[in-house]
A = this chain, B = another copy of it.
Amino acid sequence: MAQVPHFDRVTIIGVGLLGASLSLALRDKGLSGRITGYGRKPENLQRAKEAGIIDEYRIDAAASVEDADLVVLCTPVGMFTEAVSTIQHALKKGALVTDVGSVKGRMVAEIESLMPEGVRFIGSHPIAGGDKSGIDEARKDLFIGARCIITPTAQSDGDALDIISSIWRLIDCRVEMMDPFLHDDVFALVSHLPHLIAYALVNTVDSIDPDRIDYSGGGFRDSTRIAMSSPELWRDISRFNRENLLNVLDVFRDNLERISRCVEDQDWEWLEKEFSRAQKLRLRMNK
Protein backbone atom coordinates (compact mmCIF):
# COMPACT_ATOMS: atom_id res chain seq x y z
CA MET A 1 0.00 0.00 0.00
CA ALA A 2 1.45 3.35 -1.04
CA GLN A 3 1.96 6.03 1.54
CA VAL A 4 -0.59 8.88 1.52
CA PRO A 5 0.84 11.41 -0.94
CA HIS A 6 1.37 15.01 0.02
CA PHE A 7 2.33 17.80 -2.37
CA ASP A 8 3.90 20.91 -0.92
CA ARG A 9 3.08 22.88 -4.04
CA VAL A 10 0.20 22.19 -6.39
CA THR A 11 -0.57 24.16 -9.55
CA ILE A 12 -3.99 24.12 -11.16
CA ILE A 13 -3.82 25.13 -14.82
CA GLY A 14 -7.30 26.47 -15.54
CA VAL A 15 -9.40 27.37 -12.51
CA GLY A 16 -12.91 26.47 -13.60
CA LEU A 17 -15.42 24.08 -12.05
CA LEU A 18 -13.14 21.02 -12.09
CA GLY A 19 -9.90 22.83 -11.23
CA ALA A 20 -11.49 24.74 -8.37
CA SER A 21 -13.33 21.68 -7.01
CA LEU A 22 -10.15 19.63 -7.17
CA SER A 23 -8.28 22.36 -5.31
CA LEU A 24 -10.91 22.34 -2.56
CA ALA A 25 -10.90 18.55 -2.38
CA LEU A 26 -7.09 18.26 -2.21
CA ARG A 27 -6.91 20.76 0.61
CA ASP A 28 -9.87 19.19 2.40
CA LYS A 29 -8.14 15.81 2.40
CA GLY A 30 -4.83 17.29 3.52
CA LEU A 31 -3.06 16.28 0.31
CA SER A 32 -1.68 19.68 -0.58
CA GLY A 33 0.31 22.57 0.80
CA ARG A 34 0.14 25.81 -1.17
CA ILE A 35 -2.12 25.79 -4.24
CA THR A 36 -1.35 28.11 -7.15
CA GLY A 37 -3.82 28.85 -9.90
CA TYR A 38 -3.07 29.81 -13.46
CA GLY A 39 -5.67 31.04 -15.91
CA ARG A 40 -6.43 33.46 -18.70
CA LYS A 41 -8.69 35.73 -16.67
CA PRO A 42 -7.02 37.53 -13.72
CA GLU A 43 -10.42 38.57 -12.33
CA ASN A 44 -11.50 34.93 -12.14
CA LEU A 45 -8.24 33.99 -10.41
CA GLN A 46 -8.65 36.88 -7.98
CA ARG A 47 -12.16 35.74 -7.13
CA ALA A 48 -10.94 32.16 -6.67
CA LYS A 49 -8.28 33.43 -4.29
CA GLU A 50 -10.77 35.53 -2.34
CA ALA A 51 -13.10 32.53 -2.10
CA GLY A 52 -10.27 30.50 -0.57
CA ILE A 53 -10.16 28.10 -3.50
CA ILE A 54 -6.51 28.80 -4.35
CA ASP A 55 -3.78 30.38 -2.22
CA GLU A 56 -2.22 32.46 -4.95
CA TYR A 57 -2.25 32.86 -8.70
CA ARG A 58 0.04 33.66 -11.59
CA ILE A 59 -0.85 35.07 -14.98
CA ASP A 60 2.35 33.61 -16.42
CA ALA A 61 1.81 29.89 -17.00
CA ALA A 62 5.51 28.95 -16.83
CA ALA A 63 6.00 30.88 -13.58
CA SER A 64 2.95 29.17 -12.07
CA VAL A 65 4.53 25.70 -12.25
CA GLU A 66 8.14 26.47 -11.26
CA ASP A 67 7.93 25.08 -7.73
CA ALA A 68 5.06 22.68 -8.32
CA ASP A 69 5.24 19.07 -7.18
CA LEU A 70 1.89 18.37 -8.81
CA VAL A 71 0.44 20.11 -11.88
CA VAL A 72 -3.12 19.45 -12.98
CA LEU A 73 -4.33 20.49 -16.43
CA CYS A 74 -7.93 21.69 -16.00
CA THR A 75 -8.43 23.94 -19.06
CA PRO A 76 -10.71 22.87 -21.91
CA VAL A 77 -8.91 20.01 -23.70
CA GLY A 78 -8.34 22.18 -26.78
CA MET A 79 -5.80 24.21 -24.82
CA PHE A 80 -3.83 21.31 -23.33
CA THR A 81 -1.10 21.17 -25.98
CA GLU A 82 -0.52 24.90 -25.91
CA ALA A 83 -0.49 24.97 -22.10
CA VAL A 84 1.95 22.07 -21.87
CA SER A 85 4.23 23.62 -24.51
CA THR A 86 4.30 26.82 -22.46
CA ILE A 87 5.06 25.20 -19.11
CA GLN A 88 7.26 22.27 -20.14
CA HIS A 89 10.61 24.01 -19.66
CA ALA A 90 9.59 25.39 -16.28
CA LEU A 91 8.52 22.06 -14.79
CA LYS A 92 10.60 20.93 -11.80
CA LYS A 93 12.43 17.63 -11.97
CA GLY A 94 10.36 15.07 -10.09
CA ALA A 95 7.09 16.90 -10.70
CA LEU A 96 3.96 14.90 -11.50
CA VAL A 97 1.52 16.12 -14.14
CA THR A 98 -2.04 14.94 -14.66
CA ASP A 99 -5.24 16.32 -16.18
CA VAL A 100 -9.02 16.12 -15.96
CA GLY A 101 -9.73 16.06 -19.70
CA SER A 102 -12.61 14.22 -21.35
CA VAL A 103 -10.50 13.02 -24.27
CA LYS A 104 -7.43 10.87 -24.03
CA GLY A 105 -6.12 8.76 -26.95
CA ARG A 106 -3.48 10.61 -28.95
CA MET A 107 -3.68 13.55 -26.54
CA VAL A 108 -2.04 11.44 -23.82
CA ALA A 109 0.81 10.39 -26.11
CA GLU A 110 1.28 14.00 -27.19
CA ILE A 111 1.48 15.33 -23.63
CA GLU A 112 3.80 12.48 -22.65
CA SER A 113 6.12 13.39 -25.51
CA LEU A 114 6.26 17.00 -24.28
CA MET A 115 7.35 16.09 -20.74
CA PRO A 116 10.97 16.97 -19.96
CA GLU A 117 13.35 14.43 -18.43
CA GLY A 118 12.30 13.54 -14.88
CA VAL A 119 8.73 14.82 -15.15
CA ARG A 120 6.02 12.20 -15.33
CA PHE A 121 2.55 12.52 -16.84
CA ILE A 122 -0.42 10.26 -16.11
CA GLY A 123 -3.76 11.03 -17.77
CA SER A 124 -6.96 11.04 -15.75
CA HIS A 125 -10.62 11.72 -16.44
CA PRO A 126 -12.92 12.21 -13.48
CA ILE A 127 -16.55 11.84 -14.65
CA ALA A 128 -17.95 14.83 -12.79
CA GLY A 129 -19.25 18.32 -13.37
CA GLY A 130 -21.98 17.64 -15.90
CA ASP A 131 -23.42 20.72 -17.52
CA LYS A 132 -22.13 23.07 -14.82
CA SER A 133 -19.10 25.29 -15.15
CA GLY A 134 -17.23 28.06 -13.35
CA ILE A 135 -15.88 28.50 -9.85
CA ASP A 136 -19.24 29.47 -8.39
CA GLU A 137 -20.33 25.86 -8.83
CA ALA A 138 -17.13 24.46 -7.28
CA ARG A 139 -17.58 22.03 -4.37
CA LYS A 140 -15.02 20.04 -2.43
CA ASP A 141 -17.30 17.00 -2.69
CA LEU A 142 -17.76 17.17 -6.48
CA PHE A 143 -15.73 14.00 -6.97
CA ILE A 144 -17.22 11.89 -4.21
CA GLY A 145 -18.45 8.62 -5.69
CA ALA A 146 -17.56 9.74 -9.22
CA ARG A 147 -15.76 7.37 -11.52
CA CYS A 148 -12.25 8.45 -12.46
CA ILE A 149 -10.62 6.79 -15.46
CA ILE A 150 -6.82 6.69 -15.35
CA THR A 151 -5.22 6.06 -18.73
CA PRO A 152 -1.70 4.66 -18.39
CA THR A 153 0.41 3.88 -21.46
CA ALA A 154 3.41 1.62 -22.06
CA GLN A 155 5.56 4.66 -21.17
CA SER A 156 3.87 5.33 -17.82
CA ASP A 157 6.00 5.25 -14.68
CA GLY A 158 4.61 2.76 -12.17
CA ASP A 159 5.17 4.96 -9.11
CA ALA A 160 3.61 7.98 -10.80
CA LEU A 161 0.62 5.82 -11.73
CA ASP A 162 0.25 4.68 -8.11
CA ILE A 163 0.46 8.20 -6.76
CA ILE A 164 -1.99 9.74 -9.24
CA SER A 165 -4.42 6.87 -8.65
CA SER A 166 -4.20 7.30 -4.91
CA ILE A 167 -4.95 11.04 -5.17
CA TRP A 168 -8.24 10.30 -6.91
CA ARG A 169 -9.01 7.48 -4.51
CA LEU A 170 -8.34 9.72 -1.53
CA ILE A 171 -10.82 12.29 -2.79
CA ASP A 172 -13.32 9.42 -3.00
CA CYS A 173 -13.43 8.65 -6.70
CA ARG A 174 -13.95 5.12 -7.97
CA VAL A 175 -10.71 4.69 -9.90
CA GLU A 176 -10.43 2.49 -12.99
CA MET A 177 -7.57 1.97 -15.44
CA MET A 178 -8.26 2.07 -19.17
CA ASP A 179 -6.25 2.27 -22.36
CA PRO A 180 -6.40 5.90 -23.61
CA PHE A 181 -7.73 4.88 -27.04
CA LEU A 182 -10.36 2.57 -25.58
CA HIS A 183 -11.33 5.43 -23.28
CA ASP A 184 -12.13 7.66 -26.25
CA ASP A 185 -14.06 4.90 -27.97
CA VAL A 186 -16.20 4.26 -24.87
CA PHE A 187 -16.84 7.92 -24.06
CA ALA A 188 -17.68 8.83 -27.64
CA LEU A 189 -20.64 6.53 -27.11
CA VAL A 190 -21.80 7.21 -23.56
CA SER A 191 -20.90 10.88 -23.24
CA HIS A 192 -19.92 12.70 -26.43
CA LEU A 193 -22.72 11.34 -28.65
CA PRO A 194 -25.46 12.24 -26.10
CA HIS A 195 -24.17 15.82 -26.08
CA LEU A 196 -24.34 16.14 -29.86
CA ILE A 197 -27.84 14.67 -29.82
CA ALA A 198 -29.02 17.02 -27.08
CA TYR A 199 -27.70 20.03 -28.99
CA ALA A 200 -29.41 18.78 -32.17
CA LEU A 201 -32.69 18.21 -30.31
CA VAL A 202 -32.78 21.73 -28.93
CA ASN A 203 -31.87 23.08 -32.37
CA THR A 204 -34.84 21.15 -33.77
CA VAL A 205 -37.13 23.21 -31.55
CA ASP A 206 -35.24 26.33 -32.59
CA SER A 207 -35.74 25.43 -36.28
CA ILE A 208 -39.46 24.81 -35.93
CA ASP A 209 -40.48 27.45 -33.39
CA PRO A 210 -38.30 28.38 -30.40
CA ASP A 211 -41.36 29.43 -28.38
CA ARG A 212 -42.57 25.86 -28.31
CA ILE A 213 -39.86 25.12 -25.77
CA ASP A 214 -42.27 26.64 -23.24
CA TYR A 215 -44.50 23.57 -23.62
CA SER A 216 -41.78 21.11 -22.76
CA GLY A 217 -42.02 19.11 -19.58
CA GLY A 218 -39.64 17.08 -17.46
CA GLY A 219 -38.78 14.68 -20.27
CA PHE A 220 -37.46 17.33 -22.61
CA ARG A 221 -35.81 19.14 -19.72
CA ASP A 222 -33.90 16.04 -18.62
CA SER A 223 -33.01 14.90 -22.10
CA THR A 224 -31.57 18.28 -23.10
CA ARG A 225 -29.95 19.36 -19.83
CA ILE A 226 -26.47 18.72 -21.27
CA ALA A 227 -27.24 21.13 -24.13
CA MET A 228 -26.48 23.84 -21.56
CA SER A 229 -22.86 22.63 -21.50
CA SER A 230 -20.06 24.85 -22.78
CA PRO A 231 -20.03 25.01 -26.62
CA GLU A 232 -16.29 25.68 -26.59
CA LEU A 233 -15.53 22.63 -24.45
CA TRP A 234 -17.71 20.34 -26.54
CA ARG A 235 -16.33 21.71 -29.80
CA ASP A 236 -12.87 20.70 -28.54
CA ILE A 237 -14.00 17.29 -27.37
CA SER A 238 -15.68 16.68 -30.76
CA ARG A 239 -12.49 17.73 -32.47
CA PHE A 240 -10.18 15.49 -30.49
CA ASN A 241 -12.51 12.51 -30.64
CA ARG A 242 -13.69 13.05 -34.20
CA GLU A 243 -13.32 9.54 -35.63
CA ASN A 244 -14.95 7.73 -32.73
CA LEU A 245 -17.73 10.27 -32.74
CA LEU A 246 -18.39 9.79 -36.46
CA ASN A 247 -18.56 6.03 -35.87
CA VAL A 248 -21.09 6.22 -33.05
CA LEU A 249 -23.11 8.82 -34.96
CA ASP A 250 -23.50 6.22 -37.71
CA VAL A 251 -24.76 3.62 -35.28
CA PHE A 252 -27.15 6.13 -33.71
CA ARG A 253 -28.45 7.09 -37.16
CA ASP A 254 -29.12 3.39 -37.89
CA ASN A 255 -30.98 2.96 -34.62
CA LEU A 256 -33.05 6.09 -35.14
CA GLU A 257 -33.85 4.87 -38.66
CA ARG A 258 -35.07 1.51 -37.33
CA ILE A 259 -37.50 3.43 -35.13
CA SER A 260 -38.47 5.95 -37.84
CA ARG A 261 -39.10 3.17 -40.29
CA CYS A 262 -41.47 1.46 -37.85
CA VAL A 263 -43.45 4.71 -37.56
CA GLU A 264 -43.32 5.25 -41.32
CA ASP A 265 -44.37 1.65 -42.08
CA GLN A 266 -46.83 1.54 -39.19
CA ASP A 267 -45.13 -1.54 -37.80
CA TRP A 268 -46.31 -0.95 -34.21
CA GLU A 269 -45.35 -4.37 -32.96
CA TRP A 270 -41.74 -3.90 -34.03
CA LEU A 271 -41.72 -0.33 -32.69
CA GLU A 272 -42.72 -1.62 -29.26
CA LYS A 273 -39.85 -4.13 -29.48
CA GLU A 274 -37.37 -1.33 -30.21
CA PHE A 275 -38.69 0.67 -27.25
CA SER A 276 -38.58 -2.40 -25.00
CA ARG A 277 -34.98 -3.15 -25.99
CA ALA A 278 -34.01 0.35 -24.86
CA GLN A 279 -36.11 0.26 -21.72
CA LYS A 280 -34.59 -3.02 -20.64
CA LEU A 281 -31.00 -1.77 -20.97
CA ARG A 282 -31.76 1.62 -19.45
CA LEU A 283 -33.34 -0.01 -16.40
CA ARG A 284 -29.94 -1.56 -15.68
CA MET A 285 -28.71 1.88 -14.65
CA ASN A 286 -29.87 3.74 -11.60
CA LYS A 287 -32.35 6.56 -12.14
The interface of chain A, by Cβ under 8 A from chain B, is 127-128, 130-131, 146-147, 149, 186-187, 189-191, 193-208, 210, 212-213, 215-232, 234-235, 238-239, 242, 245-246, 248-249, 251-256, 258-260, 262-264, 266, 268, 271-279, 281-287
**A278 CB contacts on chain B under 8 angstroms:** 198-203, 206, 224, 227
Instruction: Kindly identify which residue among B195, B206, B279 contacts A219, using a CB–CB cutoff of 8 Å.
Output: B195
Q: How far is the CA of A214 from the CA of B276 in the complex (A)?
A: 19
The 6 closest A-B pairs by CB, nearest first: A231-B275, A202-B278, A190-B216, A199-B278, A200-B256, A127-B217
CB within 8 A of A197: which of B149, B187, B256, B283? B256
Q: Are B194 and A224 in contact (CB under 8 A)?
A: yes
Known A-B contacts A200-B256, A200-B259, A277-B206; A287 and B245 likewise in contact (beta carbons under 8 Å): no
Interface residue from B187, B234, B263 paired with A238 (Cβ < 8 Å): B263
Report chain B residues within 8 Å CB of A229: 219, 279
Complex: A206 Cα to B282 Cα, angstroms: 10
Asked if residues A215 and B187 are in contact (CB atoms below 8 Å), the reply is yes
CA distance A277 to B199 in the complex (A): 8
Q: Separation in Å of the A137 CB from the closest CB of chain B?
A: 12
Bound CA–CA A219/B252 (angstroms): 17
A252 surroundings in chain B (CB, below 8 A): 200-201, 204
Indicate which residue in B193, B203, B220, B255 contacts A191 across the interface (CB closer than 8 Å). B220
User: A191–B217 contact, CB under 8 A?
Assistant: yes
Interchain CA distance A275-B282 in the complex, whole Å: 26
Chain A to chain B contacts (Cβ below 8 Å), 13 pairs: A200-B252, A203-B281, A204-B255, A206-B281, A213-B284, A223-B223, A224-B278, A224-B282, A227-B275, A231-B279, A238-B268, A238-B271, A246-B260
> What's the minimum C-beta distance from A256 to chain B, rounded to whole angstroms?
4
Whether B226 and A274, one on each chain, are in contact in the complex, defined by CB atoms closer than 8 angstroms, is no
Contact of A263 among B221, B222, B246 (CB under 8 A): B246
Are A131 and B263 in contact, CB atoms less than 8 angstroms apart? no
Nearest Cβ on chain B to A263's Cβ, whole angstroms: 5
Contact assessment for A249 and B260 in the assembled complex, using a CB-CB cutoff below 8 Å: yes
C-alpha gap A237/B169 in the complex (Å): 46
- State in angstroms the CA–CA spacing of A239 and B251 once bound together: 25
Are A224 and B223 interface neighbours, CB within 8 A?
A: yes
In the complex, chain B residues whose CB is within 8 Å of the CB of A285: 213, 216, 221
Is the CB–CB distance between B254 and A207 below 8 Å? yes
Q: Which of A249, A262, A264 has the most CB of B within 10 A?
A: A249
Given contacts A186-B215, A217-B127, contact A204 B274 (CB under 8 A): no
